[in-house]
Structure 1
Amino acid sequence: MLKTTISKALLSAALAATFALPLAATAQTMNTPAKSVLNKTDQQIVMGMARANIAEIEAGKLALANAASAEVKAYAQQMIDDHTKALADVTTLAQNKGVTLPSEPDAKHKAMADKLSKLKGEKFDHMYMMQAGVQDHKKVHAMLKKDEQRAKDPDVKALAAKMMPTVEQHLHTATEKHKMK
């Protein structure tokens, strides 16, 4: 009888340990951030893509509130829509590769948003199209070209290539609208 009780206790302990070990390992993995599988350069590229998209989304929202021209508001809505889709792609890639993304624009874009938020009407329209439309898209276009060349990870390269035509279209549209003003 004692032998049976001890055997049952040992068997129960062994089973409990067998099932608890994977659960403990899973809980530990869920609480600790995954180590990125990307090198530092590729991590910076992905974070730069996120920052650029976040900045365009925020500037677009500001334009919807402050722009006078229906044309500028339509452009701003396109920026919000297109850059939200692009940010979703960047976020998916980042999650798959273990990269933590920024959640807000960088200091330079916050400063630009602060300046823009003080403007209304035609002054806002002109500044928004010049800054967020032309200048930022020129920078992002150049950044994506460079990133596509220097990225080592094939998924990062592919994402830079995928984003390029949309940024080119945004730049072209902004340049044309800015010339008309």
Structure 2
Amino acid sequence: MKNLLAFGGLALTLLFTACTKDENDDNLTAQDKAFVRDITLSNRSEISLANLALAKATDVSVRNFAQMMITDHTMAETQMTEIANNIGVSRPADSLNAMAASLMPVLMGLSGKSFDSAYIVTQIPAHDMARSITQEEIRSGNNEQLRNYAQTMLPKIQMHLTMADTIAKRIR
């Protein structure tokens, strides 16, 4: 009898876990999964490029911007990791999106003002793309946690975009 009760309890636990997982899967649309993939790669790319900028930039505003990118995108990446784990969606293994992957070797070959200018100018389309990805999740996403994340991140992304544009205009 004791074994039967233990087995019954285990079966109910497994059934509940399976139902919970299925509910999460049902709640994730292709849009939600694309958002997790794209914003993860965006965050990782920003962190990698900003680390390079901290090592190579000579302009103080570019260095400060890079430090802000590391701080803000590390926080955003940590939050996305928690959400993805919570809702059971996998994230890409890659560390860079296509834009950053093609940009990294170019930036590595630059120095001084050329580096500063190239890095900060590329932050404009990078953050414009992140803004578009985030706005699309707000408009079309199905998962509440992902939409809340997107709504929280959108003002920061917009601020980064505005700052990059301002710095780029000043140092060109």
* TM-score normalised by L of structure 1: 0.79
Matched, 1:106 2:97: yes
Q: Which residue of 2 aligns with 1:174?
A: 164
Is contact 2:42–2:130 with CA below 8 Å preserved after alignment?
Answer: yes
% of aligned pairs identical?
27
Determine helix, strand or coil for the equivalent of 2:90: coil
Alignment of 1:153 onto 2:143:
yes
Give the whole-Å Cα distance in 2 for the aligned partners of 1:141 and 1:62. 23
Which blocks of at least 5 consecutive residues in structure 1 are unaligned? 1-10
CA distance in 2, matches of 1:51, 1:106: 5
Question: C-alpha offsets along residues 125-173 of structure 1, whole Å, 9 cap, x if unaligned?
Answer: 0000000x21111111122112210101111111111100100111111
Secondary structure, aligned partner of 2:142: coil
Q: What is the CA RMSD across the aligned residues, in angstroms?
A: 2.3
Is 2:51 the partner of 1:54?
Answer: no
2:69 pairs with 1:79? yes
The one of 96, 117, 121 aligned to 2:108: 117
| Unaligned residue ranges in structure 2 (runs of 5+) | none
Q: Max radius of gyration: which structure?
A: 1
**How many residues are aligned here?**
160
Rounded to whole Å, the distance in 2 between the matches of 1:106 and 1:48 is 8
Distance 2:168 2:97 in 1: 25
